[in-house]
Structure 1
Amino acid sequence: MEQLCVKTHTVLDSWCAPGGILDAGGVRASFRLYADDPRRRRTKDAIVEAYLAEQDGIEHGGRCAIVTAGVPGAGKSTAIESRGLAGHGWRVLDADRIKDHLIGDGLGRGVYDDLLGMVLPDGRRLRPRELATLVHRESTEILDMARERCVRAGENIVIEGTFRWDGLGAQLLTELGGAGYTDLTIVDVEVTCDTALHRAQDRWWTGRIDPDNDLGGRFTPTSAITDLYPDGATRSICARNARAAFEHPLSAVIESMTLFVDDYTTGTHVESTVTKHNGVVNYESHTAP
């Protein structure tokens, strides 16, 4: 079974590479398929509405935000839950759920029927969530649309992501500060590249072979993880970008900021916390077992 998993993973990886049939920027990517379709905006608006409707009991006016940082499979949601940082009334903004909506839209239109008929080394056909790379760009656009709505309403939000883009910190500080948000927490979880790769593969394979999972497992290309560890770095660029956001001059527009870091890269859990008030650091701790 392990050998079939590796062989199947290798084929999918090759399909996700530049020029492959699952290339995120290739001709089958949804943003290219609908580039000249004026009706696509209506589809995106409908997905925003459907996605936001999935969560109820959302409180308005709290103006607190949590942003995650760390590679796929690092354990970011677990870190939030273990600290009790968000709960009832909080809006969770997750691009993976948007991808599911986009994949569902593609299935309904039949635009990927030929791909879903392809058989991989394990003898199973391509599963819907293995098309995730093809809807990646549109999922980001739609998530931005949803976030803009939520920020305007002053909702308490959890923005789930990796923080791989070094410009995200300034963008969020400007956006949240301009909307009157007073509290921002960044949660960064760091694991080794090997750990992230293993977890991503295990999560995908578990979903792929589950007969009760209609969409299957979400495939994460190897490069989507390894690219976050340039030059064999122990910690990901997500950690650097999260810290840069916390230290950014624009952080002064947010009354209260906290940076939590759970670092597992040394084989033990090292936890650090830094807080600041109106741009000035007022607390810092660093603990290890």
Structure 2
Amino acid sequence: MILLVEKQSSNRRNYHKQEWQYEGLPIEFPSRRFGGNPNASEEDLHVTTTTTTTTSTTVNPPLDPRYRRVYNPDEVASVEDYPFMAALLVNKELWCGAVIIDTDAVLTAAHCLQLQFNNRFFREYVKMLSVRVGSDNATHGGEQLRVTDIFFHPNYKPQTLEFNFAVVKFHKNLTLGRQDRSVDMVPYSRDLIVPVDKKITFLGWGSVLGVGGLGGKVLLQEVDLPIYDLADCQEIYGRNLVTRNNFCAGYITLQKNVCNHDAGGPAIMDGVLVGILSFSSKRCDQPDQPAVFSTVGVIAPWLEKLEENVVKTR
């Protein structure tokens, strides 16, 4: 029993010695997270350095589907079961998950649109964006909508991913629910705390590589994850990255997880949207690596009064 505890402790210490990044937006833990030694060298920490000018980092082993999207999903999901699911596309390629919250808007993670946030006073940066709805496949089918506006939460902080929310508006109103069962919006929670004794269903887009003759389809997948203790999650990532406005979900022992490229995807509990994936492990084929979600209930008043409470990007 003592050996098992020591092994788990050792695994967690090694787990801390990693860098967390989403497509060129590096998030590095403070040195105090790594063995408590603020003077530890980069070599001692085994951390791969990146700069904001890079779009990827070298990892060992190399990137493959285990690092990119839902790992070990419970099943391939149907858009008719989850008609609120959407895909955020950059230059017509899958970039992030999103969820329909209004007839002309989806909610996603703000850091998925970091380029647009950095250049939010230049309207032309929305032209590379589009949203696909009504399809099980992020790369085909359904309807592809042109983006016209982006609303970032006014308290969004790129350095810590606090209030990591953005609302993306598109050029037309959708016909929801009645005529097309594959397109509808989801009700969202107004609760500030997500209970720890329950599970969420997370929805994300599968690997872009063909599996079982599926070719290049990027299919909708679902996985059920238990809520992870917040204090333990803060011990892993640090209190600057995980606050009371977040909750975490994941298994301690099972290799079942979501990946960084699932960012913006929804966490559903009892049919209600409770969270948007903020960040998770770049390596998602290992146990005890919880995903961090932004709690939707915290921003419910902002969503309800969006045009009064945010500055519209022009």
Q: What is the TM-score normalised by the length of structure 1?
A: 0.27
Q: TM-score, normalised by structure 2?
A: 0.25
Which of the two has greater strand per residue? 2
Q: Which has the higher helix share?
A: 1
